[in-house]
Structure 1
Amino acid sequence: MKKKKTIVLIIIAAGVVLLVASWLAGRKISKEHYLSHNKTYNDEGMLLDSVKNPYYSKRQWGYFYKIPRTVKYHLDITGTERKAMVFLPTGYDKNKSYPVLYLLHGYGGRHSTWRNKNAHIIIQNLIYFEDVPEMIVVCPDCVVSSDENARDENFYETIQYFDLAEKEIVDNLMPYIEEHFNVLTGRENTAIAGNSMGGRNSLAIGFKHQDKFGYIGAFSSVSPLPDERYSGRIPALLDELKLDSSQFEFLMLGVGNSDNVCGDVTYTLDEYMTERGIDHVFYDVDGEHENRVWQNCLYNFCKNIFKQEEQ
């Protein structure tokens, strides 16, 4: 009887060893596959040729991806409970503090939209394979209204709700995140980025609160400035883009070169910032006003933030 038990234990142990060995071998193969893609970069280090095959947005075998979590908090201006989605790094440690990226959606979106674009996978892959610092990512619902159906209104009617996002993020969401998660504060540890209307809000909030945000990403952005192309239907959030004192740690504009929704805005913003001596990175890729372009922008943006020595 004892001999049979011993044999069974040996078989189980051998099976465990085999499983672990297979898992480790699979992880190695996954990493090699991830890093094997042919990559074309521009002079500023932006990855250009991945839009048709966004390999970085796919789960890699043998690696764990933390499930995004939804948090609820009180918003003063609506007097209601609001939702945001939080991406924690796989190795999240309650005894460690992390920099924070606030990631904003565009028209038609909600707090879960960037998860649906696999943003949490893109960022975790960057952490796993490309030495990007661990970070916490917070995705607010930028349609700020007590009426959940407000997001179903037409584009121009929803602008009034997007324009309240600054107060929500700065006055309520950021304090909630800082109270409930281990985050590093200060502009060198805080970034904001978004696509389309989220890019507009990111530029406006980042430039208005340069003491809080050191990094801004605007992907296929609507303009936050007065713009005659809008015929007054999209109000300006800022009269001008002006630096308070120092340059941003990193400011990036990205767009698809076939974007016929608001793609020309990004080219205009690039010229505007260049004329005014605002340091920034601008690039375009093959694509339209679409998720694959924004996934590429997120990849490039996150590769360039929080690069200072980890704390």
Structure 2
Amino acid sequence: MACLLALAGAAAAQPADVPRPLSWPIELQADDRPALAPPPAGWDRPRDGIPHGRLEMLDYDSRTVGTRRRMLVYTPPGHDPLRAYPVLYLLHGIGGDETEWQRFAAPEVLLDNLIADGLAQPMIVVMPNGRAQPNDRAEGNVFAAAPAFARFERDLLDDVIPAIEARFRTRTDRDGRALAGLSMGGGQALNFGLTHPERFAWVGGFSSAPNTRAPAELLPDAGAARQLRLLWLSCGSLDGLLRVSQGVHARLQALGVPHVWHVPAHGHDAAQWRQDLYHFAQRLFQ
């Protein structure tokens, strides 16, 4: 399975990108442009004087993999154990793990700020490890783990979601679940979300990698996509993998399916994914 090596370092402290073994010449189309304005100053900085949520590393039993696995979970400020919260499941790239989103984008900072400003609904954010195999560390030849990213579909549906819903009071309807990811995780989110619209009503692919199913296979018709409350596609205009998202976008256009198509001037980098999360989170569970 062809796939992309995502970033492997902290967002601000490391170079934005690393050499990739697969990319294509970038050919921009007329509508390959930003759908939204850049965030305002200070949007991604920790703020004093507002309530803060909590990050917690949790273990769960994976029947799919046959071992204990880990996931990083954000609970919103003032988390009320008696309130049923919606949940965003947020997936990482092929070179990352359950800590990648926190390192790249500090979701706890973005969500704290958005919730304090009344721009996002209080939600639980689950960052699992999308590499469904006994050794799920990003080491050695990370591309050899590509089949484990496809296998994660069962781990997510059969193990991760039940573990979260057993530990926290959450909404269990499709409108209360969102699925998104970056790079390899973006491909997973599109593949799994469009296959299971009965489980997720909000789906986002950020800089999706070539593990994304071919457009006609991913979207044989408009049925699944039309069931979604939000379908978000984004990729940087400087990203050699733009072609993947362009193909999905073109297929959705041909089927007449409403969706967000956001192409700002970024590469395959953490700056793109932080802004994706900032914009995507504001549209969830409304």
Task: State the TM bucket, normalised to the shorter chain.
Answer: 0.7 to 0.9
RMSD over aligned Cα atoms: 2.3
CA–CA distance in structure 2, aligned partners of residues 194 and 263 of structure 1:
15
Tell me the residue number matched to 2:134. Answer: 146
Which of 32, 36, 40 aligns to 1:47? It is: 36
TM-score, with normalisation over the residues of structure 2? 0.82
Matched, 1:299 2:286: no
> Number of matched residues?
253
Displacement of 1:54 after TM fit? 6.8
Instruction: Report the secondary structure of 1:55's partner residue.
Output: coil
Give the match's secondary structure for 2:262: strand
- Separation in 2, partners of 1:155, 1:300: 30
Structure 2 gaps of 5+ residues are 1-30
Q: 1:197-234: per-residue Cα shift (whole Å, max 9, x none)?
A: 0000001111111101000011000242238xxxxxxx
* Pair 1:251-2:200 in alignment: no
Write out per-residue CA displacement over residues 52-73 of structure 1, whole angstroms, 9 at most, x where no aligned residue. x873221012224233101101
C-alpha distance after superposition, 1:39-89 (max 9, x if no partner)? xxx9x9953334xx8732210122242331011011112210000111000
How far is 1:130 from its partner? 3.5
Q: Which residue of 2 aligns with 1:288?
A: 267
Identity percentage over the alignment?
28
**Larger-gyration structure (1/2):** 1
Whether 2:162 is the aligned partner of 1:183: answer no
Alpha-carbon distance between aligned partners in 2 of 1:54 and 1:194, rounded to the nearest angstrom:
25
Which one-letter code corresponds to 1:298 in the other structure? L
- Say which SS state the counterpart of residue 152 (structure 1) adopts: coil
Q: Which has the higher contact order (CA 8 A, sep 6+)?
A: 2
- Give the Cα separation in 2 of the matches to 1:245 and 1:263: 21
Q: Distance in 2 between matches of 1:263 and 1:49?
A: 19
TM-score between both structures, scaled by the size of structure 1 = 0.76
More helix by share: 1
Partners of 1:79 and 1:284 in 2: CA distance: 40
Contact 2:52 2:112 (C-alpha < 8 Å) held by counterparts: yes
What residue is the counterpart of 1:33 in the other structure?
Answer: none
Distance in 2 of aligned mates of 1:60 and 1:253: 29
- Contact 1:46 / 1:300 at 8 angstroms: preserved in 2? no
Unaligned runs of 5+ in 1: 1-41, 228-235
